[in-house]
Chain A
């Protein structure tokens, strides 16, 4: 069954929390992931690779330019599912 945007967003938040070892539930859809997780651009690319594997899609780096919050990230993923 196809995922809803809410489900996708939730999975993105859980994967990010797991990958960067922060407590589940501390991340919210509107959070800026660079600021909230204190990560640099290389670590953000790691997260993208992790999400690609999970959702079995390709997220080109150049299409993710300017995306810094989980909500928009989830929307970009959703449009490719």
Chain B
């Protein structure tokens, strides 16, 4: 691994990696059973240089902002390196957002360059007003556009190449490297301004626990715009000379094949996918004959006993070869992130000899705050603070549970264009996470719910109740709002979080079956993970301020006085 203390920016570290590991494979891109590319660091650098040169010819340089909206593929990483090489600021956006949302964030970020895929560009170009409002945007590059199609002013990525060597543009550690959007409320984008220092410090901390080296293969499944994959599916492996494997399809059958075909060492997953894997394995175990099942259970018990104090992957592979061969036989660790994972799922995999590195973090903190170090494995916690992270519990109650505050070199510089929000979030250098937790005697952090009105789904999606209210706006009732049920009635858990719709009827109005039907109908129009699961009827006016904004905190206090079980009607 490179000594990252020697570099002042992501671009400088990556440039050194291109030379230090020139002959190693850095990137494999496959589409189903076909392999599209297999690039060495040298080849990767050559492709990025041609793009960087063309960007520079077009006037893109230090501090310029360039957005990438792409699925995981080689051109994502090549483009990102080219942007950093030019001293630019990368704005990675979620390809799963709607075109309207993407335009909103593009405008907010001030991006002058957009690099995207043809299918995504088709959706974006159809929203003419979005583009018109994006005044800073001067250049759009589109990958994989079919020949002869009209590109609505965009240029083809594959043809956008400059001749000659681009000039490397140095950046300082304190300069902004990326603007990463975490979910905002009420249409207010929250652009986390991440510095080069943030990434360099995070990379040192993470690789001290989960190292990469030449020959390691990381399967990149989580979207690279997500902070986790950007670190462990790009920057981390690249500065260690390891390789990243991209699949252009995420169909389970091809993902399964990829583990064995590419001898995958690490993979990151969201809890939903991990649980699906667990169910699939359990179904296979259930099909074993009684005799085979007894032998299998015994081997699992032996593995469990032998790995109690630490993981022993070589031993586990010998004891349970069928299980491990399904994961390619080289898998060291599954990294799980994006949402809270149930301890029983973590334990299930560990007992099979497949450690799952769970942790806790948020974009604002530079991704991971705590990570399980597997010494020994603990399924019941989110691990200990990473090296360099100061974590404290503020306003703890009698059980030691309070809000988690973090201070480290990995904490963002602030929210773009939101000084007030930044001042409320980072106080005296400490990041207020809005999550509740406590430390145990071994220094492991246990999470115990949230102080903020939000939920995180198993797919790793942050849902803010205010954003759901629009779906119910036209209901014939006096007023309504949506809450995270646990925000009103804390359960001390982050599993199975749900939203509730709070409704205040007009004077004399009855709650009818027709009204219920209308609520259900509107609810069903929402994506499944955004749906409310319960209804709370209240008889009093919502507390509001002078500008008629709901005073949610006051309303929450009022609702908290009710008993959850009797107050919430299931929908």
Contacts and interface: CB of A to CB of B under 8 A. Distances in A.
B271 to A, nearest CB: 12
Nearest to B69: A65
B71 A65 contact: yes
Contacts, number: 60
Interface residues of B, number: 32
Residue of B118, B120, B122, B528 with highest tally of chain A CB at under 10 A: B528
Interface in A35-75: 35-36, 38-42, 45, 48-49, 58, 60-66
Contacts of B525: 32, 35
B459 A66 contact: no
Nearest to B31: A60
Contacts of A49: 251, 253
Contact of B250 (A40, A61, A63): A61
Contacts of A41: 96, 459
Interface residues of A, number: 20
Contact of B459 (A38, A40, A45, A62): A40
A39 B118 CA distance: 25
B249 A60 contact: yes
A18 B331 CA distance: 37
B315 interface: no
A60 B248 contact: yes
A34 B96 CA distance: 13
Given A45-B250, A45-B251, A49-B251, A64 B119 contact: yes
Interface in A5-30: none
B95 interface: yes
Nearest to A62: B71
Interface string B521-532: 000111111010
A60 B31 CA distance: 9
B73 interface: yes
Interface of A: 32, 34-36, 38-42, 45, 48-49, 58, 60-66
Interface of B: 31-32, 71, 73, 95-96, 98-99, 117-120, 122-123, 144, 248-253, 272-273, 276, 459, 524-529, 531
25 contacts: A35-B525, A35-B528, A38-B524, A38-B528, A39-B528, A40-B529, A42-B272, A42-B276, A48-B251, A49-B251, A49-B253, A60-B31, A60-B248, A60-B249, A61-B71, A61-B250, A62-B117, A62-B119, A65-B71, A65-B95, A65-B96, A65-B119, A65-B123, A66-B99, A66-B123
